[in-house]
């Protein structure tokens, strides 16, 4: 049996293992090691296990992950994010569907601090959904807006998924993170436009909130939340002007978050302990999964399957756009059944050589990949963010109502995705002009 055939069989077995909910890290590692043993023998497999994990974990850019996680954990536990929804509500509630619009804006800001879609959906869901239901908002709109806007944490820097993509694609982490800024903002704006138009056409979805809000109230709430936007813009700005690498910007962001929390009197032993515990747990989980993906990429290189697929696509003489459309279908289908990190680490070893053969910009395609994964987070039947929202609302709202609510946002995301594919410069503008 050829090594290419062994690689193909290994991918099929891996998909079956993930389908029956074998832990991602174990499935990726087991398939890779066994496949390596079959192709190169036990000694080669042992050699890979002895050397490659350390080389991967010691990659300098990987240290950005715990720092970004720590930054988000401190911001949350110290209460720096607690006023985000209130601020968005005071400024945006006058719009049609104003509370849903405020939820989207608050989620975007929270996502920029935490880098986690699940954390964003969970935290904002507990605050925003009860408020919307209290004002008789449509249950699907209330839950769908938070579930969908929570996915912005995958694209708006600091994005853990984007850091992992950059490392595996061997592109600049800083450029990849900057590439997500404008698409992330565009995604939030598209959600807001969709909510506003729907509620304008059908006011029963979101009854108007009749309350007098003074400019003093609006300005006072800005004084409560100002540290968070400053921290976010400092991290993104330092990457843009090239003062710091992604790792240095992450460390600086985490340190400044601690300083701001201390200045506000919100830093105590409990906050520090919980933040470090959360960051360590998240880092360990991500690194184990990423290590499995790294071993899979080594195994795929040995099998020759990625190069075989790349030559096959090259021989078909199709355009780069056809490759992107084909990849879109693959990612959108996988997103219906598999975890985000699992999808990315499963597909990249095969997809990257194909993209390089088609001469596509890997930074731009990284934005598309993260967008695919965002859509997967709310796509039935395994939309993780939807189940997070379901755990927040309990029995008050049926699961099918939440899934029905997110369908409008999935459609909006598809339109946004088409715009990003048609106009790559939206993603590449900031990376190209960074110092």
- Residues 251-289 pLDDT 10s: 888 888 898 888 888 888 998 999 899 888 888 888 888
Tell me the H-state helices in 202-319: 215-225, 227-240, 246-263, 269-303, 305-316
**Which of these ranges, 133-137, 315-319, 355-359, 381-385, has the smallest mean pLDDT?**
315-319
CA distance 155 to 159: 6
Q: If you average pLDDT over residues 198-225, what whole number do you get?
A: 85
The predicted structure's pLDDT at residue 428 = 94
The predicted structure's pLDDT at residue 407 = 94
Q: If you average pLDDT over residues 76-102, what whole number do you get?
A: 84
Element (H, E) at 304: none
The pTM of this model reads 0.85
Residue 422 pLDDT exceeds 60: yes
CA distance 143 to 120: 13
In the chain, where are the structural domains located?
Answer: 3-433
Q: Please compute, for residue 64, the number of CA atoms within 13 A of its CA located in the half-sphere on the CB side.
A: 28
The predicted structure's pLDDT at residue 435 = 55
Q: If you average pLDDT over residues 20-45, what whole number do you get?
A: 86
CA-CA-CA-CA torsion sign (67, 291, 355, 330): negative
User: In sequence order, what are the residues at sequence separation of 6 or more whose Cβ sits closer than 8 angstroms to the Cβ of residue 298?
Assistant: 32, 36, 48, 52
* 183-197: burial string, b at 16+ Cβ within 10 Å, e else: bbbbbbebbbebbbe
DSSP-based three-state secondary structure for 154: helix
Residue 12 pLDDT exceeds 70: yes
299 CA to centre of own chain: 26
pLDDT tens-digit map of 112-160: 777 677 777 877 888 889 889 988 999 999 999 999 988 887 888 778 8
The predicted structure's pLDDT at residue 195 = 95
- In this prediction, residue 238 has a pLDDT band, given cuts at 50, 70 and 90, of confident
Determine contact, residues 26/292, Cβ cutoff 8 Å.
yes
- In this prediction, residue 199 has a pLDDT band, given cuts at 50, 70 and 90, of very high
- In terms of average pLDDT, the best of 186-200, 220-234, 386-400 is 186-200
The predicted structure's pLDDT at residue 394 = 85
**Which of these ranges, 33-37, 113-117, 306-310, 331-335, has the smallest mean pLDDT?**
113-117
The predicted structure's pLDDT at residue 115 = 65
Task: Give the CA angle between residues 162, 169, 370 to the nearest 5°.
Answer: 30
Q: If you average pLDDT over residues 349-376, what whole number do you get?
A: 90
- In terms of average pLDDT, the best of 171-175, 266-270, 407-411 is 407-411
- In this prediction, residue 62 has a pLDDT band, given cuts at 50, 70 and 90, of confident
Residue 423 pLDDT exceeds 90: yes
Which has the higher per-residue pLDDT, 311 or 198? 198
* 376-396: burial string, b at 16+ Cβ within 10 Å, e else: bbbbeeebbbbbbbbebbeee
The predicted structure's pLDDT at residue 143 = 93
Residue 366 pLDDT exceeds 60: yes
- In terms of average pLDDT, the best of 190-199, 320-329, 352-361 is 190-199
Question: CA torsion, points 110, 111, 113, 118, in degrees to nearest 10?
Answer: 100
**Which of these ranges, 34-38, 259-263, 379-383, has the smallest mean pLDDT?**
379-383
């Amino acid at each position: 049996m050829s090594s290419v055939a062994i690689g193909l069989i290994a991918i099929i077995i891996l998909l079956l293992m993930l389908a029956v909910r074998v832990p991602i890290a174990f499935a990726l590692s087991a398939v890779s090691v066994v496949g390596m043993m079959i192709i190169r023998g036990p000694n080669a497999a042992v050699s890979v296990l002895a050397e490659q994990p350390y080389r991967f974990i010691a990659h300098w850019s990987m240290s950005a992950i715990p720092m970004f996680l720590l930054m988000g954990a401190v911001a949350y536990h110290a209460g720096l994010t607690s006023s985000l929804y209130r601020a968005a509500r005071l400024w945006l509630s006058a719009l049609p569907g104003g509370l849903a619009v405020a939820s989207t804006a608050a989620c975007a800001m929270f996502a920029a601090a935490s880098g986690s879609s699940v954390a964003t959906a969970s935290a904002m869901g507990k605050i925003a959904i009860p408020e919307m239901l209290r004002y008789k908002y449509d249950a699907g709109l209330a839950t769908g807006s938070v579930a969908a806007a929570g996915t912005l944490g995958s694209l708006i820097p600091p994005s853990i998924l984007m850091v992992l993509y950059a490392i595996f694609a061997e592109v600049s982490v800083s450029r990849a993170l900057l590439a997500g800024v404008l698409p992330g903002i565009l995604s939030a704006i598209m959600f807001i436009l969709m909510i506003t138009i729907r509620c304008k056409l059908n006011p029963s979805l979101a009854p108007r909130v009749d309350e007098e809000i003074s400019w003093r109230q609006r300005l006072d709430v800005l004084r409560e939340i100002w540290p968070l936007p400053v921290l976010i813009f400092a991290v993104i700005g330092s990457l843009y002007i090239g003062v710091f690498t992604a790792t240095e910007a992450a460390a600086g962001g985490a340190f400044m978050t601690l300083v701001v929390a201390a200045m506000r009197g919100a830093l105590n032993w409990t906050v520090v302990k919980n933040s470090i515990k959360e960051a360590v747990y998240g880092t360990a989980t991500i690194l184990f999964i990423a290590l499995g993906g790294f071993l899979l990429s080594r195994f795929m290189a040995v099998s020759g399957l990625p190069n075989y697929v790349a030559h096959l696509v090259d021989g078909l003489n199709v355009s780069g756009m056809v490759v992107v459309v084909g990849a879109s279908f693959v990612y959108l289908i996988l997103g219906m059944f598999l975890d985000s990190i699992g999808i990315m680490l499963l597909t990249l070893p095969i997809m990257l050589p194909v993209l390089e053969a088609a001469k596509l910009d890997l930074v731009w395609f990284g934005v598309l990949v993260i967008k695919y994964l965002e859509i997967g987070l709310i796509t039935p039947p395994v939309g993780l963010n939807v189940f997070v929202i379901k755990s927040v609302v309990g029995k008050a709202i049926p699961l099918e109502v939440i899934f029905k609510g997110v369908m409008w946002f999935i459609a909006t995301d598809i339109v946004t995705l088409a715009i990003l594919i048609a106009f790559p410069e939206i993603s590449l503008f900031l990376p190209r002009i960074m110092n």
